[in-house]
Amino acid sequence: MSKPKTNPAKILAIAKRLAKKSGHFPTMQTLKSAGVFREVVRQGFGSYGGLEQALYKAHPEIFSLAPVQSLVTSAHRRAVGAVKTHKTFFVTTAVVGCSANLDMLQAMETFCNARNAEPLVLITADPASRQSPGGRGYVDTELTAYSVVTQALRINRNLSISDIQLSAKQIEPVLGLDRFVKQASSMIFASPKQRLRYVPTSPGKLPSALMGTGACTIPNYRPRTFTEARTAFMAAHDHVMGGVIVEVENDQIFHFRQVQFIGSGFADLGKWYDGDGHITEYRPAAAVLGDLHAGVTDAGARKFAYELFDLTNPVDIAIHDAFNGSPVNHHNKGKLTTRSAISATIQSEVGRLAAELDGFALRGKISLIDSNHNRWLREYLDRGDYVHDRENYRYAIQLVQAMHEGKDPLDWAIRQVAPKLKFRSLSGTDSWIVGKHELAVHGHAGPNGRRGASQQELERSYGRCVTGHVHTPGIFRGVKQVGTMSPLYDPAWMQGASSWMCTHALVYPNGGYQLINKIGDTWRLG
């Protein structure tokens, strides 16, 4: 055994030689094999990490991976400064020990240059890779040019980047974190998975959002043991190349939307950003409205939808719960006071629905998704409730006749009111695949005839899909849920806290998607 080296300059030279061979900082075992022992490292540099930082500071050019520890102070200072000087951010996550996707970084720069946006790179780790070469607390050196967030960072009063450390392989990154979110404070977590969960809050306040970003690094979850193979497979499958665009209006209001890097770039609000610096029009294959509920549709929600569709020009428009169904609502059966307060008749509500559809028909091909509120009319007629319904009896007789002729009563009623209106009605057995997503599923019908379907059940049944029904937007792996266009708090439906949001979805031809939220009176910066 050779005599331990005690000269810091010699230790640094040995570490440099070993690092040049491998492209990453040598392990303690490799240093020991070269005659550099732990005790002399401590004498010269205080710790293994001190030697690591000293070598990287002196010779960063020899590394393909940079130690995260070396970025803690300078990178966080840069990120804090960026928050003070910018209004738009592209937030993504790097997994330690993994190579950056250079094409995605270039597309990100195209967006940031066009929008005066600042990239923010969060860090997460794969615990299983820590003992493998290059896997212990290192990020691709390409990322050191950006603001790397290594600590908690507040974007505005209602949004912060969390410093809670999540495993890159964590199956559900936001699971169990609801209780750490303070009221009216949303949090972004470092995760290669894109997730979105809203936490209910008190009436009159917008719910808090928990979100994972997606990644800018290429997935590399190779298991070291047989028992790690399952989690490695799942982590690679759920890994999303992408990020979250955040726009800050002021200290209170912010907007966010997800993007996915697919092929050579990503889509945002009808534009395509690629790595060559090009920005081109990219028309969404479909837009999915939050549940319409014609007759109680919020005017601001309607305006938001018109503005979004006029900007992005979607080919198709999917509409959930088009019919509100107040006069035939079975939940109100036997409630005399409630029913007496309903001023609308079936015929007048159909007229309001036709008027709402006319506004959307000018902006794309509309399809009515089979939904529970739409079904209420058929169920009302099937039960014969119209027999004792003085206000709707005569009109209901016409609807029953249409049913006897094999027609859907709601579809027939709309066409009688608006014969020139172009639309189609999907049945509960129809499938409608657009942009690799199933769009014909509302979410009210569970498997095997059961009412209601959880996100897990929707994923198992349909894979990628965009659904409505719950009025709470969310992203759970392949399942995306839109919000509602009705008032966000309806005491007739709920008591207590709410997570309802006015949220629409865009689905692009390549399978990319975005959830777009209305916050107050706005939905994007500028």
Q: Report the pLDDT value the prediction gives residue 128, as an integer from 0 to 100.
A: 66
Of the pLDDT bands very low, low, confident and very high (cuts 50, 70, 90), residue 135 is very low
Tell me the per-residue pLDDT of 282-306, one tens digit each, with 9 for 90 and over.
999 999 999 999 999 999 999 999 9
265: pLDDT strictly greater than 60: yes
Task: State whether 499 and 407 are in the same domain.
Answer: yes
Q: Token pair 């946006």 is at which residue?
A: 117
Least confident of 15-19, 406-410, 461-465, 469-473: 15-19
Task: State whether 202 and 73 are in the same domain.
Answer: yes
Q: Token pair 């790595």 is at which residue?
A: 275
Q: Report the pLDDT value the prediction gives residue 55, as an integer from 0 to 100.
A: 78
Of the pLDDT bands very low, low, confident and very high (cuts 50, 70, 90), residue 183 is low
Cβ 428 vs Cβ 369: under 8 Å = no
First to last CA, the chain: 68
Of the pLDDT bands very low, low, confident and very high (cuts 50, 70, 90), residue 131 is very low
Task: State whether 270 and 321 are in the same domain.
Answer: no
Of the pLDDT bands very low, low, confident and very high (cuts 50, 70, 90), residue 1 is very low
Task: State whether 328 and 181 are in the same domain.
Answer: no
188: pLDDT strictly greater than 60: yes
C-alpha distances out from residue 149 to 39, 126, 184, 190, Å: 32, 17, 23, 9
Task: State whether 236 and 194 are in the same domain.
Answer: yes
Strand partners, 480: 466, 475
87: pLDDT strictly greater than 90: yes
206: pLDDT strictly greater than 60: yes
Q: Report the pLDDT value the prediction gives residue 6, as an integer from 0 to 100.
A: 64
**Is residue 139 a part of any domain in this protein?**
yes
Task: State whether 73 and 215 are in the same domain.
Answer: yes
**pLDDT (average), residues 226-253:** 91
Q: The tokens of 396 are what?
A: 């209901």
Residues near 72 by Cβ (< 8 Å), separated by ≥ 6?
150, 151
Of the pLDDT bands very low, low, confident and very high (cuts 50, 70, 90), residue 494 is confident
Q: Which of 216, 250, 279 marks a domain boundary? A: 279
Q: The tokens of 201 are what?
A: 């809050």
**Is residue 482 a part of any domain in this protein?**
yes
d(CA 435, CA 508) in angstroms, rounded, equals 6
**Is residue 127 a part of any domain in this protein?**
yes
Pairing of strands 117-124, 254-260: unpaired
Tell me the per-residue pLDDT of 92-129, one tens digit each, with 9 for 90 and over.
999 988 889 999 999 999 999 999 999 999 999 887 66
Cβ 186 vs Cβ 211: under 8 Å = yes
What SS3 class is residue 465? Answer: strand
Task: State whether 130 and 265 are in the same domain.
Answer: yes
Q: What pTM did the predictor assign?
A: 0.88
Q: The tokens of 43 are what?
A: 């004498």
Number of domains in the chain: 3
64: pLDDT strictly greater than 80: no
Q: Which of 279, 298, 324 marks a domain boundary? A: 279
**pLDDT (average), residues 310-325:** 97
Of residues 433, 429, 230, the one with CA closest to residue 316: 433
Kindly report the three-state secondary structure assignment for every residue of 47-69: CHHHHHHHHHHHCHHHCCEEEHH
C-alpha distances out from residue 313 to 285, 307, 309, 476, Å: 9, 10, 5, 26
Domain of residue 44 covers 8-63
Q: Which of 245, 279, 313 marks a domain boundary? A: 279
423: pLDDT strictly greater than 70: yes
**pLDDT (average), residues 187-204:** 92
Q: What is the mean pLDDT of the chain?
A: 89
233: pLDDT strictly greater than 50: yes
d(CA 30, CA 48) in angstroms, rounded, equals 12
Least confident of 172-176, 319-323, 335-339, 406-410: 335-339
**Is residue 191 a part of any domain in this protein?**
yes
Task: State whether 88 and 152 are in the same domain.
Answer: yes
Task: State whether 207 and 105 are in the same domain.
Answer: yes
**Is residue 116 a part of any domain in this protein?**
yes
Alpha helices in 299-392 (DSSP H): 299-312, 336-340, 346-361, 372-383
Tell me the per-residue pLDDT of 501-515, one tens digit each, with 9 for 90 and over.
999 999 999 999 999
φ, ψ dihedrals at 35, nearest 5°: 90, 10
Task: State whether 410 and 457 are in the same domain.
Answer: yes
d(CA 107, CA 114) in angstroms, rounded, equals 11
d(CA 59, CA 23) in angstroms, rounded, equals 11
Task: State whether 261 and 406 are in the same domain.
Answer: no
CATH number assigned to the domain comprising residue 455: 3.60.21.10
Task: State whether 235 and 300 are in the same domain.
Answer: no
d(CA 386, CA 397) in angstroms, rounded, equals 8
**pLDDT (average), residues 233-255:** 95
Q: Report the pLDDT value the prediction gives residue 13, as an integer from 0 to 100.
A: 85
Q: Kind and range of the H or E element at 208?
A: strand 208-213
Q: Report the pLDDT value the prediction gives residue 134, as an integer from 0 to 100.
A: 40
**Is residue 525 a part of any domain in this protein?**
no
Tell me the per-residue pLDDT of 342-391, one tens digit each, with 9 for 90 and over.
668 999 999 999 999 999 999 999 999 999 999 999 999 999 999 988 89
The CB-based long-range contact list for 344-348 (8 Å cut-off, 24+ gap) reads 344/295, 345/391, 345/392, 345/395, 346/377, 346/392, 346/395, 346/396, 346/399, 346/413, 347/392, 347/395, 347/413
For helices 372-383 and 409-417, the axis angle rounded to 10 degrees is 100
Find the angle CA(469)-CA(472)-CA(477) to the nearest 5 degrees.
Answer: 90
Of residues 477 and 342, more confidently modeled: 477
**Is residue 2 a part of any domain in this protein?**
no
**Is residue 269 a part of any domain in this protein?**
yes
Q: Report the pLDDT value the prediction gives residue 334, as an integer from 0 to 100.
A: 59
**pLDDT (average), residues 427-449:** 95
**Percentage of residues of the chain with pLDDT beyond 90:** 62
Of residues 204 and 289, more confidently modeled: 289
d(CA 102, CA 274) in angstroms, rounded, equals 11
**pLDDT (average), residues 219-232:** 81
Q: Report the pLDDT value the prediction gives residue 186, as an integer from 0 to 100.
A: 95
